[in-house]
């Protein structure tokens, strides 16, 4: 790891030097600028293979030595497949812990039902929230390759510690007693070390996978479109293995063995990932998108009420980036345009450019129109971002309260008893079945009948939200039936609940199908409608909807528990059906808000030249797929 780290940074440092600066010092300033421009054009031509993406060298990508990446020797499906292995093992580890954690917390750690659910949702919420940290480090310091390697190792260490903690008797409370602060502290350290690893690597995996394809080449752009489908398939495959094989090992062999398998699998995935070092393509970082956004906001705030906005957009400042890389000005969010207004001497506090190049204005005082438009593009994502959070609150119930429901129900199939957490196989199965039917049946049929490529990303999100409402209604009806049987069984025969666990199937199928639509729709929406230099951040932004959905679940559970008697210490003493109905009502209101936001987002996209270009590229990729 250390040698890889050092060799990579030596390569990057060699790459960052300018090999074309050979102009003699005695040349006049004008002559030096002309030669510099010629050398830049020469370098660009070498990287792109003469333009058009048809040459041997891949533009904006380097190999492990820091040299321009050779298309025939780097990238492609071989490199992308090694990246998919990391994602498979990450899902196996994280979901293998999350889906069965609530039974460990209630059965072994003796936590109340609502408290156990909150521990799980806080753990999952933190995992996805830390994706922003991982994206920031990848964009600003480490790069995606090192970010994946380092944080995958962190996750493996955290899982190994969790496996060890389950073996130590003193770290578990005696029967009938609550856990001590020390016991909970050790558990939290292990869980949040895993969360740190998950969040750190997850925001970079999909981005580094797409780095292995050149979007300027027609065939590679088409392959990039297929990569997203296979990426999500590997996510589902890892989850499927987690809720079947890994949960069975936890319940019938031992949790320490299961968590040890997760740690070993992640170490093996890291070894496979590092083996592709010579094969990968590495993209140059353009700096942290978060810093760029802050620069625009600060520059605009400085001039608000102090400087007048010019009457025409032509008077706004634009930097010397190539014409094809510029983003046309839009009239939306005029307050942000103030960042591109030249205020006079106050904006002449210039920062020297690299390699002796001409100085540029201080970006905290004056930003280019293109930079401002990038921030506007991010701002257009936010309404849809906000209205997709509640879906993941519903998703959280599938791995917490629904698993608790399963523990009280009849899970026997002949002589075999299904582990409670394995009932989520219907959830994962619904995701994979929905994707398969959509890709192999619906899209070809849609092409023949309408000439379209299926649902748009906004339509997919809307379908996912609607299915989640039906899922919560089914969950409420199922819980009402289960409670009635549980009360009758307690009054007559004892503690067993003679009702089949397969009664939970409809809620898993509906919410699982909803996730298939909403996950792919969100990922497509955030990546295709974000600026090219902010792909990693946009992935992190998408994943924060999952994070906030889990956190909102914790908050909602706490509020409902404090204000009502719906959530007791055990689910048999609760009215979980009322809680599910509350989520269904909130989801109806959220869907109405989403429809308004989606209509606005579609209108905004139609008026944005940059996004029109991106949608054209995506449509071309779909046709080639």
CATH at residue 282: 1.20.1250.20
Classify residue 117 as exposed, middle or buried by CB count within 10 Å of its CB (0-12, 13-18, 19+).
buried
> Is 317 a member of any domain?
yes
Q: What is the DSSP letter of 569?
A: S
Cα 603 from Cα 296, distance rounded (Å):
24
Closest CA to 377 of 289, 287, 309: 289
Q: What is the pLDDT of residue 69?
A: 87
Cα 542 from Cα 432, distance rounded (Å):
21
Tokens coding 562: 């404090």
Helix 369-387 crosses helix 609-624 at what angle (to 10 degrees)? Answer: 70
> Is 42 a member of any domain?
no
pTM of the shown model: 0.76
- Domain of 336 in residue numbering reads as 289-341+361-374
Closest CA to 107 of 480, 398, 416, 420: 420
The sign one gets for the Cα dihedral 55, 56, 62, 67 is negative
Contacts of 169 (CB under 8 A, 6+ apart): none
> Is 348 a member of any domain?
no
Which contiguous run of DSSP H or E holds residue 557? helix 535-563
Cα 60 from Cα 44, distance rounded (Å):
9
Closest CA to 106 of 115, 97, 96, 98: 115
Taking the alpha carbons at both ends of the chain, their separation in whole angstroms is 37
> Is 624 a member of any domain?
no
The sign one gets for the Cα dihedral 103, 106, 111, 112 is positive
Cβ atoms of 61 and 11 within 8 Å: the answer is: no
Residues 367, 253, single domain; the answer is no
Torsion (CA) 244, 247, 250, 256 in degrees, nearest 10: 100
Cβ atoms of 283 and 215 within 8 Å: the answer is: no
Residues 101, 198, single domain; the answer is yes
- In 212-329, where does DSSP find H-type helix? 218-241, 247-252, 255-275, 289-303
Q: Which residues sit opposite 500 in a β-bridge? A: 410
The angle formed by the CA atoms of residues 476, 547 and 379, to the nearest 5 degrees, is 115
Q: Would you put residue 319 in left (φ > 0), alpha (ψ -120 to 50) or beta?
A: beta
Cβ atoms of 192 and 296 within 8 Å: the answer is: no
Q: What is the pLDDT of residue 237?
A: 87
Coil, helix or strand at residue 5: helix
Closest CA to 201 of 37, 88, 345: 88
Residues 366, 252, single domain; the answer is no
Q: Would you put residue 416 in left (φ > 0), alpha (ψ -120 to 50) or beta?
A: beta
Coil, helix or strand at residue 283: strand
> Is 13 a member of any domain?
no
Cβ atoms of 472 and 581 within 8 Å: the answer is: yes
Which contiguous run of DSSP H or E holds residue 396? helix 389-398
Give the β-pairing of 57-62 and 68-70: antiparallel
Cα 12 from Cα 533, distance rounded (Å):
19
Sole residue written with tokens 């089949």: 500
**What is the mean pLDDT of each successive set of 10 residues along the chain, which is 625 residues long?**
36 33 36 42 42 62 87 88 90 89 90 90 91 83 89 94 91 88 94 92 84 82 76 85 91 91 93 92 78 90 82 83 81 89 66 53 88 90 94 92 90 87 89 88 86 86 96 96 85 66 94 92 84 73 89 94 89 91 97 95 66 44 36
Residues 116, 238, single domain; the answer is yes
Residues found in the chain: 625
Give 405-471 as a 3 state SS string. Answer: HHHCCECEECCEECCHHHHHHHHHHHHHHHHHHHHHHHHHHHHHHHCCCCCCHHHHHHHHHHHHHHH
Residues 544, 572, single domain; the answer is yes
Residues 336, 455, single domain; the answer is no
> Is 54 a member of any domain?
no
Cα 397 from chain centroid? 20
Cα 198 from Cα 51, distance rounded (Å):
38
HSE-CB for 19 with a 13 A CA cutoff:
9
Residues 319, 420, single domain; the answer is no
Cα 350 from Cα 343, distance rounded (Å):
13
Residues 475, 333, single domain; the answer is no
Closest CA to 430 of 419, 418, 420, 438: 438
Residues 201, 298, single domain; the answer is no
Q: What is the pLDDT of residue 389?
A: 96
> Is 114 a member of any domain?
yes
Closest CA to 209 of 197, 196, 195, 220: 220
Q: What is the pLDDT of residue 31?
A: 41
Which CA distances in Å does 311 have to 316, 330, 341?
10, 14, 11
**Pick from 287, 319, 350: which residue ends a domain?**
287
DSSP state string for 335-371: HHHGGG---SGGG--EEPPGGGPPPEE-TTT---HHH
Residues 178, 243, single domain; the answer is yes
**Pick from 252, 271, 287: which residue ends a domain?**
287
Residues 403, 537, single domain; the answer is yes
> Is 528 a member of any domain?
yes
Sole residue written with tokens 């300018």: 18
Q: Would you put residue 338 in left (φ > 0), alpha (ψ -120 to 50) or beta?
A: alpha
Q: What is the pLDDT of residue 605?
A: 64
Closest CA to 93 of 213, 250, 204, 226: 250
Q: What is the pLDDT of residue 286?
A: 65
Residues 547, 429, single domain; the answer is yes
**Pick from 241, 272, 287: which residue ends a domain?**
287
Number of folded domains that form the chain? 3
Q: Would you put residue 570 in left (φ > 0), alpha (ψ -120 to 50) or beta?
A: beta
Q: What phi, psi does 412 have (nearest 5°)?
A: -80, 135
């Amino acid at each position: 790891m250390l040698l890889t780290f050092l060799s990579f940074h030596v390569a990057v440092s060699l790459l960052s030097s300018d090999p074309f600066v050979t102009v003699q010092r005695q040349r006049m300033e004008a002559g030096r600028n002309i030669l510099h421009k010629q050398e830049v054009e020469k370098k660009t031509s070498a990287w792109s293979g003469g333009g058009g993406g048809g040459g041997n060298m891949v533009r904006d990508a380097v190999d492990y030595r820091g040299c321009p990446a050779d298309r025939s020797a780097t990238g492609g499906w071989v490199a992308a497949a090694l990246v998919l292995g990391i994602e498979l093992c990450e899902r196996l580890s994280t979901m293998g812990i999350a889906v069965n954690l609530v039974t460990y917390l209630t059965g072994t750690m003796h936590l109340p039902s609502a408290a156990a659910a909150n521990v799980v949702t806080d753990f999952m919420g933190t995992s996805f929230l830390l994706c922003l940290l991982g994206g920031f480090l990848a964009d600003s310091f480490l790069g995606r390759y090192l970010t994946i390697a380092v944080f995958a190792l962190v996750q493996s260490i955290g899982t190994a510690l969790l496996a060890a903690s389950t073996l130590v008797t003193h770290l578990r409370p005696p029967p009938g007693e609550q856990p001590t602060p020390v016991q909970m502290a050790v558990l939290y350290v292990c869980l949040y070390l895993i969360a740190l690893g998950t969040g750190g690597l997850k925001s970079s995996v999909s981005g580094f996978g797409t780095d292995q394809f050149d979007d300027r080449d027609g065939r590679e752009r088409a392959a990039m479109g297929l990569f997203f489908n296979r990426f999500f398939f590997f996510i589902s495959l890892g989850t499927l293995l987690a809720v079947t094989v890994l949960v069975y090992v936890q319940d019938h062999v031992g949790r320490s063995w299961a968590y040890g398998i997760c740690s070993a699998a992640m170490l093996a995935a890291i070894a496979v990932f590092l083996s592709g070092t010579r094969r990968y393509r590495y993209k140059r970082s353009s700096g942290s998108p978060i810093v760029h956004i802050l620069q625009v906001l600060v520059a605009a705030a400085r001039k608000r009420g102090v400087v007048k906005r010019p009457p025409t957009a032509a008077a706004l400042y634009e930097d010397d980036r190539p014409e094809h890389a510029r983003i046309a000005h839009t009239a939306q969010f005029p307050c942000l345009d103030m960042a591109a207004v030249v205020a006079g001497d106050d904006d002449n506090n210039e920062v020297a450019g690299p390699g002796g190049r001409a100085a540029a204005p201080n970006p905290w005082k004056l930003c280019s129109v293109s930079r401002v438009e990038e921030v506007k593009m991010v701002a257009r994502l936010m309404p849809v971002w906000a209205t997709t959070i509640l879906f993941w609150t519903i998703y959280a119930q599938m791995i917490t309260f629904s698993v608790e429901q399963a523990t009280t129900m009849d899970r026997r199939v002949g002589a075999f008893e299904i582990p409670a957490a394995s009932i989520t196989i219907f959830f994962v199965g619904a995701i994979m079945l929905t994707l398969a039917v959509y890709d192999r049946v619906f899209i070809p049929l849609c092409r023949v009948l309408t000439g379209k490529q299926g649902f748009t990303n906004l339509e997919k999100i809307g379908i996912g939200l609607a299915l989640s409402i039906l899922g919560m209604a089914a969950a409420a009806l199922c819980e009402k039936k289960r409670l009635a049987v549980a009360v009758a069984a307690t009054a007559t025969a004892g503690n067993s609940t003679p009702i089949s666990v397969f009664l939970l199937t409809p809620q898993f199928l509906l919410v699982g199908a909803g996730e298939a639509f909403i996950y792919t729709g969100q990922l497509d929406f955030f990546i295709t409608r974000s600026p090219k230099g902010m792909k990693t951040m946009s992935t992190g932004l998408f994943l924060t909807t999952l994070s906030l959905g889990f956190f909102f679940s914790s908050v909602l559970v706490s509020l409902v528990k404090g204000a009502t008697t719906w959530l007791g210490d055990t689910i048999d003493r609760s009215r979980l059906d009322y809680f599910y109905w509350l989520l269904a009502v909130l989801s109806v209101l959220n869907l109405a808000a989403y429809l308004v936001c989606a209509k606005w987002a579609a209108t905004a996209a139609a008026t944005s030249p940059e996004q029109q270009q991106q949608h054209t590229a995506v449509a071309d990729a779909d046709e080639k797929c």
